[in-house]
Structure 1
């Protein structure tokens, strides 16, 4: 897999986030995942030896997230100049402000939203006054696997229990930034909103490449729909609508606009299980394309990309209710007036926005269900051809057919 990248001056990043008097003595690092499994970044597992103020030493397991250092195509596509700054801001500003908001509303420290990993520092460059992200950028967070959190399996979609847990966490993740905007507008405008502008990952993908990817998607749709002309035409329209959505302007404030994750599928959720093996806690990860948008985008993309077909079919409307109840409960917990948040208004927002995420789910199946053998061992070799290599497979075709069928059934295809 090649040599693990070194992190210069790691001590300067981590020490301000350690208990007073603690110092970084040394560290060992290794690749956390197969490079390329995390599209757009390098993930390192670090064992940091920390000397505490009483001169005892302990090992601190952390994750270091680096931009795509040697893959120039990925640097171009994932635009670390924007994505690193956004992700850092989730940890650096948003997490702390959401904790404070809840504590000030009287929630017990043990009751606070715990869906974000603990932060151990970040930088965008070795130059302290740098305005632009460079190849010395790094983000440090707790190693969740050591704390018992487990990543999902791309090839095993979520069952009912997992989905209910995720929707409850997602509702809080969406509701709290809305509460912060309504209750502390100055803090919100200063520390949050500027970092979550609209982001179009397609803007740096060559037009010819975009065209090929769309044509391949439409060829798959032809295959699953038995050349149903109206289905193919509608997916073509939806691909254009989704591209326009990505390239659109920043949205104005609205009741259901908040900080959406933007990439909420199995790879970006870590789940902890209790002694009986029941899913009990969750952490969201990978906030690079987080942006200010309608919360519906996260809900629909999650359900259609990452939930078992049978579970989704039996529970789609129920899932919307479960999410909504948790959303209102969270707003109430921090004393936000919910009179603008009727269930009818929420359902209207679903009907207005849900169709935009159908082509996103369709396209992402080639990533979600990619055969691991098509992902190179060396991250230097990863490119967008991984998508082409995974088109036409029987499992993907079957899933695409289900997405179309269920989108029609739930009235979010037209």
Structure 2
């Protein structure tokens, strides 16, 4: 078998992940194989790349019926152990939602494009899903075989990657909105995203643990009005009010099925010999939510662009997205009123969507810009130990994070997205 690299030696492989579990997938995907010669599961990604699931790459060496030997790989996605953050994640219903996406909605979206004469691929092929003892599992094609790879999350996306990603996002959104034209509604599970009513304890505890380190970070940005940012930082009550506001959807606006967790590690690319992008595909559909496209735009633009274009090209990126969105809505014969560019811009500054800018900078960006280390996992980040607090302080004091926040935080602050008193109840 080929040399196998394990990017996370600390990942514990559950005993049930064995060659027997893959028999039905191999029978369908490799009908000419005779027997399994070797089987080796390893981590698919380094620590810090995914905090809500375990991702494995499974290597097979197969004897084929013509006597040849074939090596193939699959990606297996499964739930975290209960004592390693699995219990907290299970409260958000992420895996049942993703199962619906891969079994029903993503195939339907791609069919819409095929019926319109376009072969547009949105997601990797899901070969199998199952649920056993409360654990949901997925087996995917391994996109690495087709030379797909992730970008370096710590560097951000250059202009070419940003444009391709926003165009793919627009294709996904156009299909979601058109699908609703034909099918009236999505299941109630898609009324919630990162915020759920039952997740209040998780948000409160997470906020309390990270507030101190984030405020300490503000003091290092070198801005003349540091005290103002710290003084106006939200209380936990204001933060939760903003969370709840994010669940509101204006039915008069253009809405769609959002990805919900759209950032650089949730897309993969392969490349032409020249080095330019050949294909871009989306992954990880656990947080999808019905709502404004502002959800994905605020999240993605806050987190994923390289620092030299993050603010400079912000409005241009919205334009790139909108151009492709309108093109796809027309292609799919969307029945309702097409959104104007000013509508998309306006939605990004509305009170109910502002959560996605603050949550991106407060919760995700510190982790995205922090280099991988073995303790980069949800269990450690949410811990109460002194070691966990030191980890949070290291993450928040990362010079790369401060370099981004000193520009991006004031950008949103000065546009009113971080006016947290707006969420207080009228006396």
TM band (smaller chain): 0.7 to 0.9
Distance 1:329 1:400 in 2: 34
Pairwise CA distance, 1:203: 3.4
Distance 1:413 1:381 in 2: 29
The answer to whether the 8 A contact 1:24-1:49 is kept is: no
The answer to whether the 8 A contact 1:238-1:359 is kept is: no
Distance 1:239 1:370 in 2: 28
Corresponding position of 1:83? 94
**Which of residues 108, 119, 132 is equivalent to 1:97?**
108
SS at structure 1 position matched to 2:234? helix
User: Which residues of structure 2 form unaligned runs of 5+?
Assistant: 1-8, 383-387, 420-427
5 Å-filtered alignment, 1:342-361, equals 342-352=340-350, 355-361=354-360
Pairwise CA distance, 1:356: 2.5
How many residues align? The count is: 393
SS at structure 2 position matched to 1:298? helix
5 Å-filtered alignment, 1:240-259, equals 240-241=238-239, 244-245=242-243, 249=247, 251=249, 253=251, 255-259=253-257
5 Å-filtered alignment, 1:5-404, equals 5-6=14-15, 7=17, 9-11=20-22, 14=25, 18=29, 25-26=35-36, 27-48=39-60, 58-69=70-81, 72-79=83-90, 82-105=93-116, 107=117, 111-125=118-132, 133-134=134-135, 137-185=136-184, 189=185, 192-199=186-193, 200=195, 202-205=199-202, 207-224=204-221, 225-226=223-224, 228-236=226-234, 240-241=238-239, 244-245=242-243, 249=247, 251=249, 253=251, 255-337=253-335, 339-352=337-350, 355-363=354-362, 364-373=364-373, 375-376=374-375, 382-384=380-382, 385=388, 386-404=391-409
Which has the larger share of helix?
1
Q: Deviations over 1:107-163 (max 9, x none)?
A: 1xxx3221211111111216xxxxxx33xx311111112211111112211111111
Q: Deviations over 1:59-98 (max 9, x none)?
A: 44210011112x5141122227711111122211112111
Pairwise CA distance, 1:33: 1.9
The answer to whether the 8 A contact 1:258-1:293 is kept is: yes
TM-score by length of 2: 0.80
The answer to whether the 8 A contact 2:269-2:280 is kept is: yes
The answer to whether the 8 A contact 1:255-1:340 is kept is: no
User: Which residues of structure 1 form unaligned runs of 5+?
Assistant: 127-132
Please, which moves more after superposition, 196-205 or 310-319? 196-205
Instruction: Supply the RMSD in Å over aligned alpha carbons.
Output: 3.2
SS at structure 2 position matched to 1:272? strand
Cα pair distance change 1:242/1:267, threshold 3 Å: farther
TM-score by length of 1: 0.83
Cα pair distance change 1:206/1:253, threshold 3 Å: closer
